Structure 1
Amino acid sequence: MGQRKRNISILSSEEIVRSYDSISVLSTEREKAEVTERRLLRKLDFRLIPWLSVLYLLLSLDRNNIGNARLGTLEKDLNLVGNDYYTALTIFFAGYVLFHIPSNLLVKKLRPSRWISSTMILWGICSLCQAFTHNAAGLIACRFFLGVFETGVGPSTPLFLSFWYQRDELATRVAIYFGSSTVAGAFAGAIAYGVLGTLEGAHGLAGWRWLFIVEALPTIVLGFLSFIVLPDTPETAGKWLTPEEKRVAIERTQRSGNTDEKSFDKKQFVAALIDYKVWFSVVIYIGLNIALASFSIFLPTIIRDMGFDSLKAQLLSIPPYIAAACLVFVVSWNSDRTLQRAYHIVVVCVIGVLGYVLLLATTKVGLRYTGAILVACGIYPIIPLTLSWVSNNQLGHTKRGVAIAMTSMIAQCFSMLGTQIYRAEDGPRYIKGHTICLIFLSLAACSACVLRILLARENRKRNELYGVPESNDMSGLNIEDVYDKHPQFRYAL
């Protein structure tokens, strides 16, 4: 101790001043970097999130408006008999499933702005064509290609956002993006009420045809504008970012492990296919999608069969979506704040299960309608939570893209089941449909619990072997062949 004091005492005053100056410079540079990063985040949030949210709102409208059109004269005018209507619902998911992985592999290779914009225009055209069909075959063909082109925005956008945002920033942004689908549900009821109530027979067209026209045209227009508005990656950012902001944006992507430059890596592709974390996420998303597919399409019918007329059922479909939108944002914000995904998924699953219990257990209209609201609150928050969790726990562009696509793609296969479980002959209680959704939502909750246990155990093992990492900064680290198994990496729980 005495020797240490003597060493300190012989430091010159100039050395002490230089030491303090160095600390001051480092502190100033750190503060400048933090200010630049905050400014960058504001720019990203104002440019990307509102625009992408509007795109997904339009996607949700164009996907689900067939449920609102059904309360018009769609089935009668197109001579839909037997399973024709249900086939049209199911065929959408066939197209959507087939192009998940190709879409996520192409989004970076062809540039996000071009891919997202082009596919948006094409799905808008498919949606518009539904208004001019005259038989079941035409409607089914339109629905198939609608599903194909919607993959350019649906599964591709979470991957696109991971190019720009950090792990603890992603769920809130994805929630705002996917939360627009709940807003779309509210809009859908209001638009359908207005169109079916006022445009029926206008210019010789049925109200349901006007519904497809009114909701498809904005999609096509915004698709063209997206070529201008959407950026690609931080490395190719234009003048909307200053050189300093662009440098910080690139550093942020490297900190998140986006250090590989290949648009496609075969090893990462295989690694995603055999990753148990991805398969648990698939099961969670399966539980969600069976409930989601049926709820978004059949809610107007379920409410109508509570004893309301068709137009009033359109209006009453609005409150469940508004309640769900509020909960999506709150849950996702708290999930980002704590970087805890599993607990939040389990809680909202329980809310959804309670909603189905009310729909099953009572004939009172008030309680059943409350159940419908709880179901919406239970299923919609799972979307951003699960996709953010998948993205958080993957390193490498190809592995992350394939993992997100797999999770959504395989689960969407089960969405086909969701379109088949609410049959007219089961109304007005729809016991079978509600029971199936309750079971699969419970399965999602159990899968989230098991996955969290496995990931927490893996984190503990790495802490024991390599020590607790000082930060989550992955920049400069070689993740080749190890990806998320890198000793420095810890899983989000």
Structure 2
Amino acid sequence: MTTDEKTQIDKAIIPTTTEDVVTTKEQHYPEESSILKNMSEEERKIIERRLVRKIDLRVIPWVALLYLMLSLDRNNIGNARLGTLEEDLNLQGNDYYTALTIFFAGYVIFHIPSNLMVKWLLPSRWISATMILWGICSICQSAVHNASGLIACRFWLGAFETGVGPSTPLFLSFWYQREELATRVALYFGASTVAGAFSGAIAYGVLGNLSGDHGIAGWRWLFIIEAAPTILFGLMSFIILPNLPETVGKRWLTPEEKAVAIDRTRRSGNTDDKAFDKNQFFGALLDYRNWLAFIIYIGLNISLASYSVFLPTIIRDLGFSALNAQLLSIPPYVAACALVFLVSWNSDRTLQRGYHVASVSALTIIGYIFLLATENVGVRYAGAVLVACGIYPIIPLTLSWVSNNNLGHTRRGVAIAATSLCGQCFSMLGTQIYKTQDGPRYIRGHAVCLAFMCLGGLSTITLRFLLKRENDRRDKEYGVPETTDLSEDVDSNDRLYEKNPNFRYAL
């Protein structure tokens, strides 16, 4: 990034009068403002559609690929366990569960710092650097010879994965409008369901064909094969990923497209003059609405953490061989992938988050009831499929909901990170509730997940009710807003953020 680009981001011209508010856009971005003035509304819509297509084609496939690698490197320990990992490393007692849990300790500690670094260091730099580092940690797992080495690798793997996990939804919010975000976040997070399917297929091939090749155990080959591309993609991310609309060059966006991209961020109130704002930081943490979202995400992550690493074991204990269990772990992820995209697309179309979260939560609840209620293999496997179909759509829906309802980069970044952080804290519980001695029914694990999913569903209904009540109060006090343009608030000396009379919470 050039010095001029850096200056363009950092400088702030603060208006003091009504006349200043009208002209501040020209002062901030004179070239782009001039282009917009000479552009008709019809031309603007055509350019905006072209712009969104360009962003979709360049950004979404790439970040989805990055999250696929993240999911593979995070969860392949569950597949490796069905090899000889525990025997080769002489894991005793709770060593395996400690290795699972310590990952989330690293992930939790670095959540908020990582999201604050995104704008300061710029997305391409931060995402690229952290990918390379977690790829190194993941490959190092193939070289460990005891529990201590595995635990250390898993901790730093979790720490560096925060550079993509919670940071990418924040990065996407720099480029997309609120009614566009859930579908794009779904395409990003949907890669985790694809990774679940790939992971089973890759593990089947590696453990079945490479075990012992060159004197290397199959589970070691699994870590090497799935982690090596991560480092390559990390290096490529520095070149491929754009940073902020204000900094893109003419080689990617035309001057007209750049002008529209900047205007889109301002109309949605999605801009700040500085990388960190103390008031926004504490505002995000003290907002009760965000805390209800935290509870939703807690219920999700207890199920998600246990499901993603224990699904092969659960299927094996239905009566299948270890290799067949790898293959049978693929269909739940395929079904979940389809539902993630469908539900998120409809959520964006209607700008309704709460109803969709509640509906897929109900699917998960039914799935756990199936797993608990019978010993029939078919019904229990159907329950495993329903659990996947329920938990995975909640991820993009909840994070988009939080992003939609927090304005300002610091506030949005902290809110997204804190939501994910709270969920990951309880992910540690998710890795501990399925014990070998509880198989093959795993009553305790399924019951705990069921209880927390019910809590998450109840929180969803409560949050939507409170947001609807607040929107109704604002409609009564200020009238129904004729526009969602918040650009004047962006240019104001005293930003209102969520208190702007034109702002309404996404339901």
Q: Deviations over 1:402-439 (max 9, x none)?
A: 00000000111000000000000000000000000011
Q: Deviations over 1:124-177 (max 9, x none)?
A: 000000000000000000000000000000000000000000000000000000
Quote the offset at 1:486 in angstroms.
Answer: 1.7
Match of 2:298?
286
Match of 2:406?
394
* Matching of residue 123 in structure 1 with residue 134 in structure 2: yes
TM (normalized to structure 2)?
Answer: 0.91
Quote the offset at 1:28 in angstroms.
Answer: 7.8
Confirm or deny: 8 A CA contact 1:348 1:382 kept in the other structure.
Answer: yes
Q: Deviations over 1:181-200 (max 9, x none)?
A: 00000000000000000000
> What is the alpha-carbon distance in structure 2 between the residues aligned to residue 475 and residue 442 of structure 1?
40
Confirm or deny: 8 A CA contact 1:179 1:328 kept in the other structure.
Answer: yes
> What is the alpha-carbon distance in structure 1 between the residues aligned to residue 226 and residue 112 of structure 2?
27
Match of 1:297?
309
* 1:75–1:393 Cα change, 3 Å: same
> What is the alpha-carbon distance in structure 2 between the residues aligned to residue 257 and residue 436 of structure 1?
40
> What is the alpha-carbon distance in structure 1 between the residues aligned to residue 44 and residue 305 of structure 2?
44
Report matched runs for 1:365-444 at 5 Å. 365-444=377-456
* 1:480–1:295 Cα change, 3 Å: farther
Match of 1:17?
none
> What is the alpha-carbon distance in structure 2 between the residues aligned to residue 107 and residue 97 of structure 1?
17
119, 122, 145: which is aligned to 1:108? 119
128, 147, 158: which is aligned to 1:136? 147
* 1:299–1:253 Cα change, 3 Å: same
Match of 1:491?
505
Report matched runs for 1:307-322 at 5 Å. 307-322=319-334
341, 344, 355: which is aligned to 1:343? 355
* Matching of residue 92 in structure 1 with residue 103 in structure 2: yes
* Matching of residue 356 in structure 1 with residue 396 in structure 2: no
Report matched runs for 1:61-76 at 5 Å. 61-76=72-87
Q: Deviations over 1:341-366 (max 9, x none)?
A: 00000000000000000000111111
Confirm or deny: 8 A CA contact 1:267 1:481 kept in the other structure.
Answer: no
Match of 1:228?
239
Match of 1:463?
475
> What is the alpha-carbon distance in structure 2 between the residues aligned to residue 343 and residue 309 of structure 1?
40
40, 49, 54: which is aligned to 2:51? 40
Quote the offset at 1:480 in angstroms.
Answer: 4.1
Quote the offset at 1:279 in angstroms.
Answer: 0.4
> What is the alpha-carbon distance in structure 2 between the residues aligned to residue 355 and residue 131 of structure 1?
35
> What is the alpha-carbon distance in structure 1 between the residues aligned to residue 216 and residue 192 of structure 2?
28
Quote the offset at 1:483 in angstroms.
Answer: 2.0
> What is the alpha-carbon distance in structure 2 between the residues aligned to residue 223 and residue 117 of structure 1?
4
Quote the offset at 1:31 in angstroms.
Answer: 1.0
> What is the alpha-carbon distance in structure 1 between the residues aligned to residue 398 and residue 62 of structure 2?
22
Quote the offset at 1:482 in angstroms.
Answer: 3.4
> What is the alpha-carbon distance in structure 2 between the residues aligned to residue 222 and residue 342 of structure 1?
35
* Matching of residue 167 in structure 1 with residue 178 in structure 2: yes
Gaps of 5+ in 2: 1-36
> What is the alpha-carbon distance in structure 1 between the residues aligned to residue 499 and residue 295 of structure 2?
22
Letter in 2 for 1:492: A
248, 268, 275: which is aligned to 2:287? 275
> What is the alpha-carbon distance in structure 2 between the residues aligned to residue 134 and residue 27 of structure 1?
67
Confirm or deny: 8 A CA contact 1:105 1:401 kept in the other structure.
Answer: yes
* 1:150–1:480 Cα change, 3 Å: farther
Quote the offset at 1:479 in angstroms.
Answer: 8.3
261, 264, 267: which is aligned to 1:252? 264
Q: Deviations over 1:311-344 (max 9, x none)?
A: 0000000000000000000000000000000000
Partner secondary structure for residue 40 of structure 2: helix
Q: Which has the larger radius of gyration?
A: 1
| RMSD of aligned residue pairs (Cα, Å) | 1.2
* 1:470–1:427 Cα change, 3 Å: same
Quote the offset at 1:261 in angstroms.
Answer: 1.5
Partner secondary structure for residue 380 of structure 1: helix
Report matched runs for 1:175-186 at 5 Å. 175-186=186-197
For structure 1, which segment, 100-109 or 472-481, has the greater mean C-alpha deviation from structure 2 after superposition? 472-481
Percent of counterpart pairs with the same letter? Answer: 71
Quote the offset at 1:273 in angstroms.
Answer: 1.1
> What is the alpha-carbon distance in structure 2 between the residues aligned to residue 482 and residue 287 of structure 1?
32
Match of 2:61?
50
Match of 1:199?
210
> What is the alpha-carbon distance in structure 2 between the residues aligned to residue 462 and residue 182 of structure 1?
39
Letter in 1 for 2:155: F
Gaps of 5+ in 1: 1-25
Letter in 1 for 2:344: S
Quote the offset at 1:30 in angstroms.
Answer: 1.0
Q: Deviations over 1:241-300 (max 9, x none)?
A: 001000000001111112312100011101111111110100000000000000000000
Confirm or deny: 8 A CA contact 1:120 1:153 kept in the other structure.
Answer: yes
TM (normalized to structure 1)?
Answer: 0.94
Letter in 1 for 2:97: Y
